[in-house]
Amino acid sequence: MSDDRDGRLIARQSVCADGDRLVLAGELTRTRVPAISRELRRVPLASLRVVDLSRVTRLDSAGIGMLEGLRDGLFGKPLELRDPTPHVAEMLELFAGEPVEPAPEERTRVTVRDILETIRYVAGILMDAFILSGEIFYWSVRNVVFPSGHRKGEVTEQIIVTGLNAVPIVATLSFIIGVILALQAAVQLERFGGGPFLADLMGLAMVREMGPLLTAIIITGRSGSAIASEIGTMRVTDELDALRAMGIRPVEYVIAPKMIAFTIVTPLLSILSAAVGLLGGVLVSTTFVGQPAQSFIDRALGILGVPDAAFLMLKGLLFGWAIMMTSCYCGYQVTGGAVEVGRATTQAVVSSIFAIVLLNVIFSLWYVL
Amino acid sequence: MREHSEVALRVRGLRSHYGDVEVLHEVDATFARGKITVVAGRSGCGKTTLLRNILRLIDPTSGTIELFGRDISELEEDELVNLRPRIGVLFQNGALLQSLTVGANISVPLEQHTRLPADVIERIVLRKLQLVELNGVEHFMPSELSGGMRKRAALARTLALDPEIVFFDEPSAGLDPVTAASLDRLIVELSRKLGITVIVVTHELTSIRHIADRMLFLDAGRAVFEGTVEEAEVCPVDSVRQFFRQGSSEPLGRRSPGGQPM
Ligand SMILES: Nc1ncnc2c1ncn2[C@@H]1O[C@H](COP(=O)(O)OP(=O)(O)OP(=O)(O)O)[C@@H](O)[C@H]1O
Ligand SMILES: [Mg+2]
């Protein structure tokens, strides 16, 4: 508070209009320029032509910036800078330059051309993503046949990282979700004596929807983001180019092992998730509904057929692939620095979840038809 | 005819774009076999871009790149993959794979391009590390090394497959003078003893005087001089003359003529 008042006082003393001369006095340094600039806005500039610098004692870059503003007409009209002391003249010579045109701002008005550009841009993205997916599939299949394209043991390592290490979190979350779902459903079903139907409901919900969905979301968060940031970082640090320069295809060496691991792991994790979710149902059913575990499981499995089991795995697999493609694509888009890696990672997670939901819609339609 | 066999790499009319911006304008250059050619020029003049084009990490807009007796400017990646092991590159910051140890990094090209047994690969790795004066770091992760060590480790990887031609992008940038000098000596030895063709991007005048057989000068995306160092030192072209008078030139930001302060 008192600082500000001091500042104003100093500013009043430092700025003074005298005929066509604007007299600046004292230090024009970065601690004082803010107050002086504010003060300048109060001075009627209309009659001024010249800035008198003879009483300026000290000048730094902030002061020079302000003076350049005055000179270039930032406050309404250009003024001439005059009579600097030797020190000030030296500073001006060292740091000030000719008027610098700031780079023009990008246009913000939207035209038809912009819209067409956007459409072309989006189409380009889809095309690129499509091509990348094709490459990933091709090299992954080749890698299964000729496993020499990647480092020995890389697939196993990836299976451990994306699959095995995810087991505890997938199991825990699925169990909790299973319990929550079952509780909600049980309360409703009990109201009209439909307790035994809990098994049917849980069976369908976990196997058809929640199992694959939960798995996909966890995989996105754990592995999708990791893949995007790994590839993005490798781009920033020239690692991908270094691989290419060594005659090694990044898609084959870096991505294919992950893709193979995903293909193995996601259906299995989906099964795990559905099974553990059902266990949550069993818990609720035995304690809350009073239906014994054996009959719950019999009923739940009874309503499911072989196609459901196949769907469960297929869904898990397709979700996994969608996450893989999206994350790789986002990682590949990084061109700049570390900030972009972060952005690509976020983008990978958001886009993957979007892709999963979209796929889920298609699957739901498929079930219904 | 004889001239022909002495040229390892010839670039003709090379143009390159980033988006809509043309960065290289019809660059012509030849690089002598078994010699060290230094590529010099002011920051941002397109030296790295030239390397990336020659290495086909960027696709040139037009022009030809003759390497190993053929034009590689339009080869598909499938064909390039077979040529690349004969070419070594040291990137500006090393570009070691962060997820692998130094030793594993050096064995990457050996594992991917040869069927050597693991113990032979291990021996090669140790030899190459010795060559760049980095003993006992094979189990370190790249992040545990200093910048200069990382660069030398990357050089060991570059040399793993005994390439016939090696590109260095600013090898001594960020190195202390002693390490830089030993790297220079190593570059000279590679060229003299093994007959490797070496292309070095560098700004260091001392380093140029020690290693360069020939020089290529770029200025704003154009090749403005090609020849020996002695010729370069007396070259009348402005940007080349300025380069050799480095110490006496104007401070940064004062170069534009008529840049009168207010
Ligand atoms: N990825 C990129 N996208 C767009 N423009 C780029 C990109 N990389 C480089 N450029 C531009 O191309 C020009 C040449 O860059 P290049 O990296 O080849 O310069 P250089 O001679 O290697 O410079 P330095 O000595 O600083 O490494 C620069 O003007 C730069 O702005
Ligand atoms: Mg460069």
User: So where are chain B's domains?
Assistant: 2-93+147-247
Q: Which domain holds residue A277?
A: 139-368
- The residue type of A76 is G
* Minimum CA distance residue for ligand 1 atom 6: B18
Instruction: Please give all residues whose beta carbon lies within 6 A of any atom in ligand 1, as ranges.
Output: B 18, 23, 41, 43-49
Do A172 and A245 share a structural domain?
yes
User: What value does the mean pLDDT of chain A take?
Assistant: 87
- Model confidence at A104, in pLDDT bands (50, 70, 90)? low
Q: CATH number for the domain including A28?
A: 3.30.750.24
CA distances from B28 to B5, B38, B86, B221, B256 (A): 18, 15, 23, 11, 28
Residues A240 and A312 placed together within one structural domain of the fold: yes
Query: What residues are neighbours of ligand 2 (ion), with CB under 5 Å?
Result: B 48
* pLDDT of A105: 63
The HSE-up count of residue A308 (CA atoms within 13 Å, CB side) is 17
- The number of the ligand 1 atom at minimal distance from the alpha carbon of B52 is 18
Answer yes or no: do A163 and A309 share one domain.
yes
Percent of chain A with pLDDT over 70: 93
pLDDT of residue B256: 44
Contact B111 A237 (CB under 8 A): no
pLDDT of residue B174: 77
Measure CA of the first residue to CA of the last residue in chain B; give whole Å: 60
Find tokens 């170069």 and name the residue: B255
**CA-angle at B243, arms to B242 and B244, nearest 5°:** 95
Burial class from Cβ neighbours inside 10 Å (0-12, 13-18, 19+) for residue A192 reads: exposed
Q: Is residue A117 part of a domain?
A: no
Claim to verify: residue A153 and residue A79 sit in the same structural domain: no
Angle at A218 between CA A214 and CA A224, to 5 degrees: 130
- B109/A238 CB distance under 8 A: no
Residues 6+ apart with CB under 8 A from A134: none
The pTM of the full predicted model, rounded to 2 decimals, is: 0.79
Asked if residue A119 belongs to a domain, the reply is no
- Domain contains A112: no
Asked whether residue A356 is assigned to any structural domain, the reply reads yes
> Is A281 within the bounds of a domain?
yes
* CA distance to A162, A214, A322, per residue, from A221 (Å): 11, 11, 13
Tokens coding A139: 């090299």
Q: Residues A191-214: what's their mean pLDDT?
A: 86
In 3D, which of B254, B232, B194, B191 has the Cα closest to residue B32?
A: B191
pLDDT digits (tens, 9 = 90+) for A138-188: 999 998 888 887 888 889 999 999 999 999 999 999 999 999 999 998 888
**Chain B residue closest in CA terms to A69:** B262
Q: Residue B95 to residues A239, A335, B57, B158, B177: CA-CA distances in angstroms? A: 5, 15, 14, 11, 22
> Measuring CA to CA, which residue among B33, B80, B92 is closest to residue B55?
B80
A78: in domain: yes
More confident: A1 or B148: B148
Question: Which residue minimizes the CA distance to atom 9 of ligand 1?
Answer: B49
A43 and A146, same domain (yes or no): no
* B91 within 8 A of B48, measured Cβ to Cβ: no
Residue B64 has pLDDT above 90, yes or no: yes
Tell me: the pLDDT tens digits for B179-207? Answer: 888 889 889 988 888 889 999 998 888 88
Question: Among all chains, which residue has been given the structure tokens 């005298």?
Answer: A18
Contact A300, A281 (CB under 8 A): yes
- Does residue A131 lie within any of the structural domains? no
Query: In Å, how far is A184's CA from the nearest CA of chain B?
Result: 46
Using CA atoms, how far apart are residues A248 and A263, in angstroms rounded to an integer? 23
pLDDT of B252 strictly over 60: no
Neighbours of A260 (CB within 10 A): 20
Interface contact A230-B89, CB threshold 8 A? no
A197 and A321 in a single domain? The answer is yes
Three-state SS letters, chain A: CHHHHHHHHHHHHHEEEECCEEEEEEEECCCCHHHHHHHHCCCCCCCCCEEEEEEEEEECHHHHHHHHHHHCCCCCCCCEEECCCHHHHHHHHHHCCCCCCCCCCCCCCCCHHHHHHHHHHHHHHHHHHHHHHHHHHHHHHHHHHCHHHCCCCHHHHHHHHHHHHHHHHHHHHHHHHHHHHHHHHHHHHHHCCCHHHHHHHHHHHHHHHHHHHHHHHHHHHHHHHHHHHHHHHHHHCCHHHHHHHCCCCHHHHHHHHHHHHHHHHHHHHHHHHHHHHHHHHHHHHHHHHCCCHHHHHHHHHHHCCHHHHHHHHHHHHHHHHHHHHHHHHHHHCCCCCHHHHHHHHHHHHHHHHHHHHHHHHHHHHHHHC
Residues A90 and A144 placed together within one structural domain of the fold: no
Shared-domain flag, residues A242 and A328: yes
Identify the closest residue of chain B to A244 by CA–CA distance: B57
A241 found inside a domain: yes
Class of domain B2-93+147-247: alpha beta
Answer for the pair B159, B191: CB distance below 8 angstroms, yes or no.
no
Number of domains making up chain A: 2
Provide the pLDDT for residue B262: 40
- Whether B84 sits inside 8 A of A245 (CB atoms) is yes
Q: Looking at the structure, tell me whether residues A175 and A240 fall in a common domain.
A: yes
Residue-wise pLDDT tens digits, B12-21: 999 999 988 9
